[in-house]
């Protein structure tokens, strides 16, 4: 039997439904940071702050769903990929929270180069964390229904 997703709607895990939002917002932050580095337009730093804020809110929701699954099935907790995924996402959220805090305190001057560097690190972490999430689903079958597993074989 595959490890089950504890938090789901009609058998569909909620965590993978939520994760595209913080991913898009954090990548959007990198894009707006790059645009700010090339322009004096005050729109771009404001857009970065909004992207970071929305990303952190959605990351919190995705984290709640992910932690519910993590603690809901001991088989998930036994996976090294699950631990790396969780730790990587905690580090990602901490980096983005510090970045937002410094942007609010220091203003747009923080973005180049430090905020931009943090956004690059965040996107690199997104790639790693996404790879580990993919590994849990496609290698360890976390949250995959038995019917789907049997029809794929």
Which residues form the domain of 60?
14-152
- Does residue 5 lie in a domain region? no
The predicted-structure confidence for 77-92, as pLDDT tens digits, reads as follows 999 999 999 999 999 9
pLDDT average, residue stretch 2-30: 95
In-domain check, residue 53:
yes
- Confirm whether 2 is domain-assigned: no
Residue 3 included in any domain: no
In a domain, 9, yes or no: no
| For residues 17-45, average pLDDT | 97
Q: Mean pLDDT over all residues of the chain? A: 95
pTM: predicted TM-score of the whole model, two decimal places: 0.92
CA distances from residue 5 to 8, 59, 68, 105 in whole angstroms, order as listed:
6, 18, 8, 39
Assigned domain for 1 exists: no
Residue 1 is predicted with a pLDDT of 86
pLDDT tens-digit profile of 91-106?
Answer: 999 999 999 999 999 9
Report if residue 8 sits inside a domain. Answer: no
Question: Is 4 within the bounds of a domain?
Answer: no
Domain total in the chain: 1
Predicted confidence (pLDDT) at residue 36 exceeds the cutoff of 70: yes
Q: Where are the beta strands (DSSP E) in 1-153?
A: 8-9, 12-13
């Amino acid at each position: 039997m595959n490890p089950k997703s504890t938090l789901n709607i009609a058998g569909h895990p909620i965590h993978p439904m939520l994760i595209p939002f913080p991913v898009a917002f954090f990548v959007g932050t990198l894009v707006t940071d790059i645009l700010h580095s090339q322009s004096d337009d005050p729109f771009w730093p404001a857009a970065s702050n909004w992207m970071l804020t929305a990303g952190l809110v959605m990351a919190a929701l995705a984290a709640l769903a992910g932690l519910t699954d993590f603690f809901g099935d001991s088989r998930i907790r036994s996976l090294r990929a699950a631990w790396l995924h969780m730790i990587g996402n905690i580090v990602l959220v901490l980096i983005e929270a510090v970045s937002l805090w410094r942007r609010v305190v220091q203003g747009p001057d923080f973005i180049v180069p430090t905020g931009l560097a943090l956004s690059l690190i965040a996107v690199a972490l997104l790639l790693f964390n996404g790879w580990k999430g993919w590994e849990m689903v496609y290698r360890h079958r976390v949250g995959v229904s038995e019917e789907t597993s049997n029809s794929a074989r």
